[in-house]
Structure 1
Amino acid sequence: MTRYIIIGAGAVGASLAAEFEMHAIPYVLVGRGAQIAHIARHGLSYRRAAENRAVRLNTADTAAPPALRRGDILILAVKAQDVEATTEFWAWRNVERSRFASELPLVTLQNGLAAEDIALRRFDRVYAASIRIPARYTVTGEVVVGGEPNVGIVALGCYPAGLDDTALSIVADLTTAGFLAEARPDIRRWKAAKLEHNVTNVVELFAGSPELCSKAAASLAKEARAVLVAAGYDPAAPSEWRIDISSWRIAPESGIRPGQQSTWQSFTRGTSSEVDYLNGEIVRLARLHGIAAPLNAAFQQAAARLALEGRPPGTRDIGEICGEVLLRYWIEEKSIGMRRMVVRPLSAIMASAPIGPQPITSTHMPHQRACAVDGVQRHCKSLEGLKPRRLVILMRPLIRWANGSARSPIRYSLTAADQEFRDLACNFGPRQ
């Protein structure tokens, strides 16, 4: 009988192990550190909707992994940034009859598009999965899952394409374990569709009004889709599911609420995040195909800065990041002009920006201006050779717009700056 080796005891791996335990599907949950030690000693506190149960699990520490045997299937439930090290660790472990684990089937549950290609360097049979499971792991030994009536939704297939008996068997076991699961021969399309959604996770790290956050998320997803299409992907649409997912939802009483996805959880726990494999993947594809992904690049950098400074989620304003994107557009298109950007009128840039071209009212201008000033200062100090006078000319229309003018910033005369702006802009010259 097939035994699953679930590698990674986070939200996804632990909840998968709990469901396998409760549905009598053979498995071993392998992890490291305080989480696996707590589960081994006390069991997993497994919360679903209004129910909370302690589930005893079959566990092993990475320091003393289980002996592998023929017929095992490895399930990789670590984050994307850990796939390289994890596959290196497992691929060359011995299996009975002098075989290597690299000959065993490997299932990748990671967000993004990188895990499968990394795995193929060492594993012969890779099965990619796009999994949607509203699960939270922020407390050691506890996992909360909000999906009902099913745990989550999974599309799975051979990578890069196709189906075989193993894929169908895995899907059948996931269905038995309470998942809405479907075998898909075009799994790359489903991974791309999931990435289009996952790039919005980063928005949860920053403070801002619901309207502004929603606009930023929509713009990130729109930009991601454009890049994916340019790179040759055809993201799957929800209407393509053959299984009925219409009754699946996140239970309100589960405690899972918007703003608690995997990226937010990583920052909350103070661990590494997968932003470089989500927004960073879009940026990578854009660079490969000679196009721009300025929003995803800006949020990737902002998340990195947040992590480097050790700041928790919600301590930087999202408007500041959007302002930096506008500034970068303006400087690069009007001054440098050497990057691979599509030149278009500034009015069009403003109209498509996540913060929109609407005037800023006096009730919240001080806060927005503070964000804009900080964003301008951060970016301009990083520019070499840009003289303060040149910056005045470049930035005057943008600052006028940011201060609330209803006129298109592109129409302003470059000789009509007021003294307030002249003084403001001159303070943002490059480092000496």
Structure 2
Amino acid sequence: MRFVVYGAGAVGGAIGARLFQRGHDVTLIARGAHYEAIRDRGLRLDTPEESVTLPIPVVDRPSAVTFRPGDVVLLTMKTQDTLAALAELSALAPPDVIVASAQNGVENERLALRLFRRVYGICVLLPSAFLEPGVVEAYLAPQTGGLDVGRYPDGVDDTAEALAEAFTDATFVSVARPDVMRYKYGKLLTNLGNAVEVVIGPGEQGAEIIRLARDEGTACLRASGIDAPSGVGMASQIRPIRGRLRTGGSSHQSLSRGTGTIEADYLNGEIVLLGREHGVPTPVNELLRRLANRMAREGLPPGLMTPEEFLTALDGSAPG
């Protein structure tokens, strides 16, 4: 089983590095300066317990991979990039290649299943960061994170069990779950705070707005008949790396790196979609979605508003 990590940023880089450390066959697909740094110097993984540079094979596009039977493609890009990535992959990879989504949100598996028969969902609990080419950081130890896995739309088979075994060997907590998408919906509720870190800034100042966004999300899942577990997370606490704590989640990092796009349409926007389908108002998530997208387009730094300014804007906004 070879792991082709498609989108080797924070999450993909950390997963690929840990698998490679444990002797698994890994190829990374990265791009730009990140690809060049890994190609020339290897991928550096920084954790609370070690800093190690690994000579992981890396390419800059799927067409540079010679796909073979048994390959597992781990999708680890942001959801807004998934459709284009899958289109490129489907032109090259065999139709029975294993595609596993180690991504936030709940849309990626559905997109993949249109093109590939063997699709798996992975519920990712992996506080990590990618802010410098060639370097990824993972903030949990001794377990690097959680990677529960199951077949999409549901079920467990030999492949799911093999993936869980490989992830466990690579210092992740991993369980093969027949209902893994329930857990991904539970993780979605947690990720509704990503846009708050962007609009308000990280820290406790946005706690009330996060609560409001998650209350809307819980109401939408209930109306949709989705029985998602609450409080999806890990018991381990985030630990500092070289005395420095992780400053923000994946959306905050996207804004800090100036990528020009953000994942809010598939996190807060998923709740807005469910709300519109089932008649549940979602004004908080709609405003967060719109503001986060505007900030990404305009290249604005995190911290556009104070909580009070957001609530004032919310009072004047149209229903979601």
TM-score of the superposition, structure 1-length normalised? 0.70
2:279 alignment counterpart = 290
Q: What is the CA–CA distance in structure 2 between the aligned matches of 1:209 and 1:174, rounded to whole Å?
A: 30
Q: What is the CA–CA distance in structure 1 between the aligned matches of 2:192 and 2:171, rounded to whole Å?
A: 27
Rg larger for:
1
**1:112-123 alignment to 2 at 5 Å?**
112-123=105-116
**1:265-284 alignment to 2 at 5 Å?**
265-271=253-259, 272-284=261-273
* 1:301 maps to 2:300: no
Verify the 8 A CA contact 1:79 1:110 in the aligned structure 2: yes
What letter is aligned with 1:264?
A: H
Q: What is the CA–CA distance in structure 2 between the aligned matches of 1:259 and 1:219, rounded to whole Å?
A: 22
What letter is aligned with 1:138?
A: L
2:239 alignment counterpart = 251
What letter is aligned with 1:127?
A: Y
Unpaired segments ≥5 residues, structure 2: none
**1:10-409 alignment to 2 at 5 Å?**
10-62=9-61, 64-94=63-93, 100=94, 102-207=95-200, 212-237=205-230, 246=235, 248-253=236-241, 257=245, 259-271=247-259, 272-328=261-317
Q: What is the CA–CA distance in structure 2 between the aligned matches of 1:119 and 1:209, rounded to whole Å?
A: 32
Quote the sequence identity (%): 33
What letter is aligned with 1:55?
A: L
After superposition, give the CA deviation of every residue in 1:12-58 in whole Å (9 maximum; x if it has no partner).
11111111111001111112211111101111121011522222111
Change (3 A) 1:255 1:233: farther
Across the two proteins, how many residue pairs are aligned to each other? 319
User: What SS does the aligned partner of 2:175 have?
Assistant: strand
Cα RMSD after superposing both structures: 2.0
Quote the offset at 1:308 in angstroms.
Answer: 2.7
What letter is aligned with 1:214?
A: A
Tell which has more relative contact order, 1 or 2 (C-alpha 8 A, sep 6+).
2
Change (3 A) 1:4 1:258: closer
User: What SS does the aligned partner of 1:147 have?
Assistant: coil
Verify the 8 A CA contact 1:145 1:254 in the aligned structure 2: no
Q: Give the 4+ runs in structure 1 shifted more than 6 A.
A: none
Q: What is the CA–CA distance in structure 1 between the aligned matches of 2:39 and 2:17, rounded to whole Å?
A: 13
What letter is aligned with 1:46?
A: L
Verify the 8 A CA contact 1:144 1:256 in the aligned structure 2: no
Quote the offset at 1:208 in angstroms.
Answer: 6.7
After superposition, give the CA deviation of every residue in 1:103-146 in whole Å (9 maximum; x if it has no partner).
11110011111101111110101100111111100111111111
Verify the 8 A CA contact 1:36 1:61 in the aligned structure 2: yes
What letter is aligned with 1:296?
A: N
Q: What is the CA–CA distance in structure 1 between the aligned matches of 2:216 and 2:189, rounded to whole Å?
A: 9
